[in-house]
Amino acid sequence: MNDSWRCECRNISIRFNERPVLADFNLGLRPGERVVITGDSGAGKSTVLRCLLGFVTPDQGRVFVDGEELTVESVWRLRRKMAFVPQEADLGRGRVLDVLHRPFTFKSNADLDFPETELPALLERFYLSEALLQEEIRTLSGGEKQRVAIIAALLLRRPIMLLDEATSALDREARTAVQDYFAGQPELSVLAVTHDAHFQELAHRVVDLQPPQGRKTR
C-alpha cells in the first residue's frame, strides 16, 4: 500500500445478487487531490464511495484511510475523516439553521464547535441568502437542498469530501460556483461522482468506471 494516499481502495471486488459490480478495483486519493469518477449507470460509481465509508463491505480487497485499514473496529473513527454528500441528502425536518447545527450535537462530533463565522461566506459563495437559514427544509427546492447539504459537510471541516452527483440539481451558475470552490481548497481531498464536464476539467484525474471487464483512467 502507498502511505501517501489519503484513502485507498485496494483490489476491491463486490458482488450484488451474484452480479459483479467491482472486480479487482484499485483507486487512491492523494492529499489535496481532486478525482472524478464517471461511467454508465450501474458501473459501481456510488458503490466505490459507500465502500470507502464502510457502508458496503467488499467480498475481497481492503480499504485504507490515512494508511489505516478500514475495519469493523476502526470504521467509526475513520469515517470522521470523511464528509459524504449524496445526490438526495436526507436533511430531516426543521429550519435550515437547525439542520446545519444538528451534526454538532452528535456524540461523535462532541469535540467540534459550530463555525458560525464561516457560514455567511459559504452562503454567499453558493448563491444562498442568509434569510434562507430561517426557512423550513421542506420548502426548499432540490438545488437549495443540495447546496445546504454541501455547506453542512464543509462546516464539519473534514479533510476528505465524497460527492455523489451532489450538484446535479443546480443550474449552471450555482454548479460552477460550487465546483470552483472545491478547486480552490488545496487542503481538501475530493472524490466526486459526476458527469459534469466542468468538474472533470478541474479534476487532477478522471476515472472512467466500466463494468468489471475493463475500465480506463486518464
pLDDT, mean over the chain? 93
| 2 occurs within a structural domain | no
Query: Is position 78 within any domain?
Result: yes
- Average pLDDT for 74-90: 94
Sign, CA dihedral 119-189-11-64, equals: negative
3-state helix, strand, coil in the chain (%, to 5): 35, 25, 40
Tell me whether residue 190 is in a domain. Answer: yes
- pLDDT-derived band of residue 212, with 50, 70 and 90 as boundaries? confident
In a domain, 104, yes or no: yes
Domain with 54 in it: 7-217
> According to DSSP H, which parts of the chain are helical?
45-52, 75-79, 96-101, 119-125, 142-155, 172-183, 197-202
Distances (CA, A) of 29 to 35, 76, 144, 156, 180: 7, 20, 29, 20, 19
Dist. CA 174–CA 63, nearest whole Å:
33
Share of the chain above pLDDT 70, in %: 96
Specify the pTM: 0.92
For residue 143, tell me if it sits in a domain.
yes
Q: Band of the pLDDT at 42, cuts 50, 70, 90?
A: confident
Residue 107 — pLDDT band, cuts 50, 70, 90? confident
Express each pLDDT in 148-191 by its tens digit: 999 999 999 999 999 999 999 999 999 999 999 999 999 999 99
How would residue 217 be classed by pLDDT, with cut points 50, 70 and 90? very low
Our count of domains for the chain comes to 1
* The predicted structure's pLDDT at residue 148: 98
Asked if 144 and 174 touch (Cβ cutoff 8 Å), the reply is no
Dist. CA 38–CA 118, nearest whole Å: 31
In a domain, 210, yes or no: yes
CATH of the domain at 38: 3.40.50.300
For residue 213, what pLDDT is reported? 63
Flag whether 1 is in a domain.
no
